[in-house]
Structures are given as C-alpha cells and as structure tokens.
Amino acid sequence: MANSSDPAAAGSDAPSSVIEQARAAAVDTAGSPDVVGDHLGASPEPPFAGPDGEALGEVVTHSFASRLPGYTGWYWAVTLARVPGEERVTLDEVVLLPGEQALLAPAWVPWHERLRPGDLSIGDVLPSTEDDPRLVPVYTADDDSADDPEGSVVASEAGLGRERVMSREGRAEAAARWSAGEFGPRSAMARQAPGPCGTCGFFLPLAGSLRHGFGACGNVYAPADGRVVTVDYGCGAHSQATLVADDAAEVVRSARYDTGSFDVLTD
C-alpha cells in the first residue's frame, strides 16, 4: 500500500504502459471505469528482500482519484512489483484508501461504552463483560460480608447460582450515582424535608457495606416509595413529621348560635 497520505504530491516517471496496467487493475476491482479517476502519482514502497536481506524486487504504488459516490477525497492505490532486470510487472494488491481530505466515520466505540442509563428497553439483553470491574467472583468478596448482618456473602451466595457479585469499585460507583441522583441529600425535596430518611420508620436499610448509607423507602405516599434513598435524603412523608400549630389561629372555647332567624318569646 502507499506510504504517502497525499498521493497527489508524488510524481511519477513510470511508463504509460505500467500506469495503464495499474489503471486496469483498479477498474477491475472497482467494477466500472467511471469510478476510477486521473492518475495522481506513484510512491515507491520498501523493496522486498531475500533471506540474506538482498533486494529482490522493486515495489511501486500508483494512485488514482476515486469517483465512487460517497468517497470524496479517497483514492485507489494499486501496488505493482518488478524483479530487477525483468520487464514483466506483477500486481500485488488494489485497495481504496482515504486521503487527507477524506470524510471518515467516527472511531469505533465498544457498545458497553456507548450505552447510557435508560437505553435498555423491553426485550433488550445487556450481557456483562468478563472483565467488568463492577463485578467479582463471589468467593473473592470480603469487605461486604463483614458488614452484612445476615451472614457471610460467600455462605449465602454459594449454591444459589450467582457466580459474581458487585466489587468494591462497583458498589462505590453505585453509591456515588445514587447520592448525586433524585433521592440524594442535595435534591430539592431533601433540603425541605422535616427529617432524614435514616430516622424515618419507613426506611428499610440495605444489607452489606451499603447498609450504613442507603436503604429503600417503604412509604406508599412518599415520592421515593420502592426506590433506593440515601440515609440523609428526606421528604414530607417522614414518619415523625408533625404539623406545627398556628398561634395566630382563633381558638373557640364556647358554642355559638345564630339567633337571627329565631323569634324571641317573652312571658
């Protein structure tokens, strides 16, 4: 293939017969003479060498402008080889290459790096990779089992079919995401709450090392019902919330009757 990314800058003193041979190869690969344009130049390639390093042949890549729709700025690169002292030229390869002004597709990004929260829809399958740092084999989990009041993670998971559990890194990512989310301490609802979730009777702590920072809300009337909340999140449905009496309210201590519609009888 051509070493130069700008084939138009390379001159060529090759015989016209060699150029026509290269053009014919490009047309044969392209399938039509209409998509092979002018000869742009020729670039020498490193000569192929024998076992002892001696040069056994000359290699030159001829470039032709591409007229293929959608490939503006590309060019056809035709590589020819010739053994020194021989007039016969052989064809090595024909490829379509991008020039300096060519439009290229964006760099490939693996699917697991393109996904965003909320992209998964009904029927989609999202397999985890073998090297996912958020997961570790269940027998390597250590710090979570120490804080789990229900017992060892290894003991509870063994035989239940879960080969991997969340790693320390995976739990840290989840904790940071939940804390910064809608049910974290910096949300507008939490700033106006009468108390934090950690003191609410509807707060259901998570197990393991996340127990001290997160739990689920069990209050059907709360905006976070069934969601993971931080211990310092809160809302107006706190179990200890009370209404403050308004001192300016008038207190009625005796019954009042409207006598406007009654006749007054006298003896």
Which range marks the domain in which residue 28 is found? 7-98
Supply the pLDDT for residue 64: 96
Supply the pLDDT for residue 9: 36
Supply the pLDDT for residue 134: 79
Instruction: Give 143-197 pLDDT, tens digit per residue.
Output: 554 444 444 444 454 555 678 888 889 999 999 999 999 999 999 999 989 899 9
Supply the pLDDT for residue 202: 92
Ordered strands of the 58-66 beta sheet: 36-45, 58-66, 74-82, 89-98
**CA 34 to CA 67: how far, in whole Å?**
7
Residue 223 resides in a domain: yes
Q: Over 60: is that where the pLDDT of 125 sits?
A: yes
| DSSP-based three-state secondary structure for 33 | helix
Residue 105 resides in a domain: no
Residue 206 resides in a domain: yes
Q: Do residue 174 and residue 94 come from a single domain?
A: no
Residue 183 resides in a domain: yes
Residue 215 resides in a domain: yes
Supply the pLDDT for residue 72: 87
**Residue with more model confidence, 252 or 116:** 116
Instruction: Give 46-80 pLDDT, tens digit per residue.
Output: 876 666 766 667 899 999 999 999 898 999 999 99
Which domain-ending residue is among 98, 118, 145?
Answer: 98
Contact (Cβ atoms closer than 8 angstroms) between residue 174 and residue 214? no
Which domain-ending residue is among 98, 129, 150?
Answer: 98
Contact (Cβ atoms closer than 8 angstroms) between residue 178 and residue 214? yes
Residue 164 resides in a domain: no
Return the closest-CA partner of residue 218 out of 242, 245, 238: 238
Average of pLDDT values for 120-128?
A: 71
Residue 118 resides in a domain: no
Which range, of 198-207, 213-222, 236-245, 257-266, averages the lowest pLDDT?
A: 257-266
Residue 222 resides in a domain: yes
Which domain-ending residue is among 98, 118, 134?
Answer: 98
Model pTM above 0.85: no
Domain count, the chain: 2
**Residue with more model confidence, 133 or 171:** 171
The mean of the pLDDT values for the chain is 79
